[in-house]
Amino acid sequence: MKLLVASAFLVLSTALPAQKVAHAKGIAHSEQVDIAYETLGTRGTALPVVAVNGGPGLSHAYMVQNDLWERIAQHRLVVFYDQRGIGASKPAPGATALSQTMDAQVSDLDAVRQALKLEKVVLVGDSYGGLLSMAYAAAHPEHVAKLVLSDSPGPSWKSIVHVLPEVFPDVQEENAQEEKKLGPTTEAAARAGLRNHFRMIFYSPEKRDTYMSHMGDLGFEPAVGEAVGNASADLDLSAKLAGFQFPTLVISGRFDMNVAPLTAWRLAHAIPGAKLVFFEKSGHLPSYEEPEKYISVLEGFLNGQ
């Protein structure tokens, strides 16, 4: 494991606003579900990126609250998709209830890759998307050029160091009161809980407030999130990490209380040759709180620096 500081990366000229990039949408068909995807940028010689969003139970909308990915897409193809049961990714005609196992999630990700005819990709797994990306990399290493795990869980849910209750007892109490008022199993309580969750995952109160002022509902499907969590509760990829042969970058916000930095430290030490970068003024979303550094770090890694 290699610990890299920010100065080890090429400082890119990222202060300029993003130029308009190509934007397209499509559907990757499978037997059980039609996976909706969208692309930014155009295919070229640079490695394409598939951004795998977290949740579970969210669309990728939370990842595109600034222009970071448009700026990345000026140099390469960037792909997003809605995970099964979220947003436009609905059951195929005649399909029964959707399986939410990790194998099914991996199959969907591979269907998107195949639909776009991408032989090798860079997976950027954010939050829960990091766990999904690790599962994909273990199943299909031949299609992974590089792996980025951004404020990701470890190789299992049980390996996460999660300290929100210890750091935000006041917000936890407010959430408990709202659940009591709305009913703990209601969708209204789940949506209130999501907003309370976002209140706790930022380093900067100002950036938190700006983000939350326009974040919307983020395509939130509580039932899907619960189903995915239940289906993957006992998943443990620990034994797979030592076999990862592709370059890997692990990113963590220094003040991420949702997935505390110790998780990233342990994850980076478990993957041979992994690089670890801490973002010193970020919580769980360094791509939003420190976008200039995030672009510099990510582009430097993608370009082999």
- Average pLDDT of 51-79? 96
Find all residues with CB under 8 Å of 113, minimum gap 6, and list them.
50, 121, 143
Q: What is the pLDDT of residues 149-185, one digit of tens each?
A: 999 999 999 999 999 999 999 999 988 888 888 887 7
- Residue 9 pLDDT > 70: no
Q: What is the pLDDT of residue 7?
A: 30
Q: How confident is the model at residue 13 (pLDDT cuts 50, 70, 90)?
A: very low
- Average pLDDT of 13-24? 65
Q: What is the pLDDT of residue 6?
A: 32
Give the whole-angstrom CA distance, residue 86 versus residue 221.
7
Give the whole-angstrom CA distance, residue 200 versus residue 174.
12
Residue 172: what residue type?
Q
How many Å is the Cα radius of gyration of the chain? 18
Q: What is the pLDDT of residue 94?
A: 78
- Average pLDDT of 199-220? 95
The CATH number of 2-164+204-302 is: 3.40.50.1820
> Are 41 and 75 spatial neighbours (Cβ–Cβ below 8 Å)?
yes
- Residue 106 pLDDT > 50: yes
Give the whole-angstrom CA distance, residue 109 versus residue 213.
31
Give the whole-angstrom CA distance, residue 265 versus residue 260.
9
Q: How far is CA 24 from CA 40, 120, 254, in A?
A: 7, 20, 35
3-state SS track over the chain: CEECCHHHCCCCCCCCCCCCCCEEEEEEECCCEEEEEEEECCCCCCCCEEEECCCCCCCHHHHCCCCHHHHHCCCCCEEEECCCCCCCCEECCCCCCCCCCHHHHHHHHHHHHHHCCCCCEEEEEECHHHHHHHHHHHHCHHHEEEEEEECCCCCCHHHCCCCHHHHCHHHHHHHHHHHHHHCCCCHHHHHHHHHHHHHCCCCCHHHHHHHHHHCCCCCCCHHHHHHHHHHCCCCCCHHHHCCCCCCEEEEEECCCCCCCHHHHHHHHHHCCCCEEEEECCCCCCHHHHCHHHHHHHHHHHHCCC
- Average pLDDT of 183-206? 90
- Residue 2 pLDDT > 80: no
Computed over every residue of the chain, the mean pLDDT equals 91
Residue 220: what residue type?
F
- Average pLDDT of 92-97? 79
- Residue 304 pLDDT > 60: yes
Find all residues with CB under 8 Å of 145, minimum gap 6, and list them.
47, 120, 121, 122, 246
Q: How confident is the model at residue 18 (pLDDT cuts 50, 70, 90)?
A: low
- Residue 98 pLDDT > 90: no
Q: How confident is the model at residue 305 (pLDDT cuts 50, 70, 90)?
A: low
Residue 178: what residue type?
E
- Average pLDDT of 239-244? 98
Q: Domains of the chain: which residue ranges?
A: 2-164+204-302
Higher pLDDT, 149 or 32: 149
- Residue 39 pLDDT > 50: yes
- Residue 194 pLDDT > 80: yes
Q: What is the pLDDT of residue 95?
A: 78
Q: What is the pLDDT of residue 5?
A: 37
Range with the poorest average pLDDT among 13-22, 84-93, 126-135, 146-155: 13-22
Direct distance between the N- and C-terminal alpha carbons of the chain, in angstroms, rounded to an integer: 16
